[in-house]
Structure 1
Amino acid sequence: MSRILAPLILIAALLAGWELACKALAVPAYLLPPPSAIWEAFVASWPLLLGSAWATLSTALLALIIASLIACGLALLVSLNGFLEDAVRPIAVTLQVTPLVAIAPLVTIWAGIDHPERAVIGLAAVVAFFPIFSGALSGLKSVDPDLARLFDLYGATPLQRLVRLRLPSAVPALLEGHKVAAGLAVIGAVVAEFVAGSGGAQGLAWRILESYNRLQTAKVFAALFTLALLGVVLHAAMEALERRLLNFWRGR
């Protein structure tokens, strides 16, 4: 209970201090609106924000699926060949540490200037790729030595070792990688919308830019609050899914 109550008390205290400071110092609303004004903007814009949140979420989930298919397939191939791992891993790390905004123009050109939504999905998939690839690869290689010797003792074929030993051993790390990648996919989708544009999708980044251009700062905060809420809900959903799948994997 204290784990929930403590942050709620802190958040309430910060919001109260913020509200009082804005009123006492007469801070202009375009510069820093009070929480009450942000809440009013959130309630008034809720239908639009909900549609934008769905657009951003659907983009992030599609990017996550694409990243998962590519990362898991590549990790499986790499885990079976040491030379291939030495060749692919530095490239994957380089791609991960390269800023998203640096490759956004290239991805936008390749996806087609008239199709910015493709660039957004591609950029979000790039961000989500590495955690899944890293988790899958480390999981496939983290086999219990005793079980490996047991499979050797019974003369298991490479396919049997893969299906009955390596893939089950990779499940925990793979789920953890997907949980991290889900949050990064949302971040990647929003950043990509800022850089490449969202086309007709009108995601949360589009709402933020629209409100910013009109100096409607309260609506900017409302969109940010919606984005944070979306991230929390997605993280909680991924944790619940991970817990359920792990319990099933352990036979509970």
Structure 2
Amino acid sequence: MLDILSSRTLTYLVGACAMIASWAAYVELSGVPAYLVPSPVTVALAILTDWHLLGPALLVTVQTTLTALTLAIVGGGGAAVVLAQSRWLERLLSPVLVTLQVTPIVAVAPLILIYAPTPWIAQLTCAFLVTFFPVMLNTLQGLKGADRNHADLLKTYSASGLQTLVHLKLPSALPSFFSGLKIAGGLALVAAVVGEFAAGQAGDNAGLAFRLLEAQYRLNMPRLFACLVLLALLGVAIFSLTSLLSKLALRRWHESEQS
């Protein structure tokens, strides 16, 4: 437990406390009205008071983000394995993959909304498209970067392609995979919020982004800041989870997680 709660984590906590203290001091000393910049206490009270709205919205955003991230891990990792085994297939699909990657999701979201059967599927599709490529590209790079001397050694022992993949390429790709996963975790949340902005789904299926827009239209600044705080905390939680998974998987043998 002590190695998980490292000095780096404590540094982050100290930095967060310092940021909140600076925020509170600014509001108190400047005398800025609460309807412009609410204090941290006001925002905390808004979270508690409006939890009957913000809690279900948070669950919707969490569900969209984690589902998209899971699909990206399965789809991106699987696609990387297939492309790593066939260079001609990689070259054939590269134009399509590059086009999908560089096209802004904000521009594609309205089109997805037209063809998706439900608004939640549209939000999930937006999040998946953005999350898929960091996982796929980083994993593919890790698979292609396996040590050739080790690969030649396995060939001398008549290892099959599957054995080379399982015992050499996949372990070699793990550091790159987790690097892509850390990036994809944050992007999944960003894309989920973009999808919620575009869908504008109200009711029980409304996410935090919709509640944020609703608070903006009503000039309810405490609730708006509460949505921002919950989104930030969700992003930190996702990054911490992916970092923990990376540490647990790599700390015994890879230099990147041994510090």
Q: Which residue of 2 aligns with 1:63?
A: 68
How far residue 91 of structure 1 moved from its aligned partner, in angstroms, is: 2.5
> Structure 2: how far apart are the matches of 1:45 and 1:177?
35
Q: Which residue of 2 aligns with 1:9?
A: 18
How far residue 87 of structure 1 moved from its aligned partner, in angstroms, is: 2.6
> Structure 2: how far apart are the matches of 1:88 and 1:81?
11
Q: Which residue of 2 aligns with 1:116?
A: 119
One-letter amino acid of the structure 1 residue matched with residue 11 of structure 2: R
Pick from 202, 224, 231 the counterpart of residue 228 of structure 2: 224
> Structure 1: how far apart are the matches of 2:110 and 2:42?
37
How far residue 82 of structure 1 moved from its aligned partner, in angstroms, is: 1.4
One-letter amino acid of the structure 1 residue matched with residue 129 of structure 2: V
How far residue 10 of structure 1 moved from its aligned partner, in angstroms, is: 4.5
2:27–2:38 CA contact under 8 A, matched in 1: no
Residues 164-210 of structure 1, C-alpha deviations (whole Å, 9 max, x = no match): 21122112211221222111111111111001233541111121122
Where does the alignment leave 5 or more consecutive residues of structure 1 unmatched?
none
Q: Which residue of 1 aligns with 2:250?
A: 246
> Structure 2: how far apart are the matches of 1:233 and 1:206?
21
Which stretch shows the higher mean deviation, 132-141 or 5-14? 5-14
The answer to whether 1:87 aligns with 2:92 is: yes
2:127–2:192 CA contact under 8 A, matched in 1: yes
Alignment of 1:6-155 (within 5 A): 6=15, 8-21=17-30, 23=31, 26-27=32-33, 29-112=34-117, 115-155=118-158
> Structure 2: how far apart are the matches of 1:65 and 1:77?
18
1:93–1:130 CA contact under 8 A, matched in 2: no
> Structure 2: how far apart are the matches of 1:85 and 1:19?
58
2:23–2:39 CA contact under 8 A, matched in 1: no
> Structure 1: how far apart are the matches of 2:48 and 2:113?
35
1:121–1:189 CA contact under 8 A, matched in 2: yes
Superposition RMSD in Å: 2.2
How far residue 17 of structure 1 moved from its aligned partner, in angstroms, is: 1.5
- Structure 1's 94 and 202: CA in aligned 2 closer, same or farther, altered over 3 A? same
Aligned length: 245
One-letter amino acid of the structure 2 residue matched with residue 209 of structure 1: L
The answer to whether 1:187 aligns with 2:190 is: yes
Q: Which residue of 1 aligns with 2:4?
A: none
Residues 104-126 of structure 1, C-alpha deviations (whole Å, 9 max, x = no match): 121111213xx111100000001
> Structure 2: how far apart are the matches of 1:44 and 1:137?
47
> Structure 2: how far apart are the matches of 1:209 and 1:92?
33
Which stretch shows the higher mean deviation, 89-98 or 201-210? 89-98
One-letter amino acid of the structure 2 residue matched with residue 78 of structure 1: L
Give the match's secondary structure for 2:230: helix
> Structure 2: how far apart are the matches of 1:103 and 1:135?
24
> Structure 2: how far apart are the matches of 1:50 and 1:248?
38
- Structure 1's 78 and 42: CA in aligned 2 closer, same or farther, altered over 3 A? same
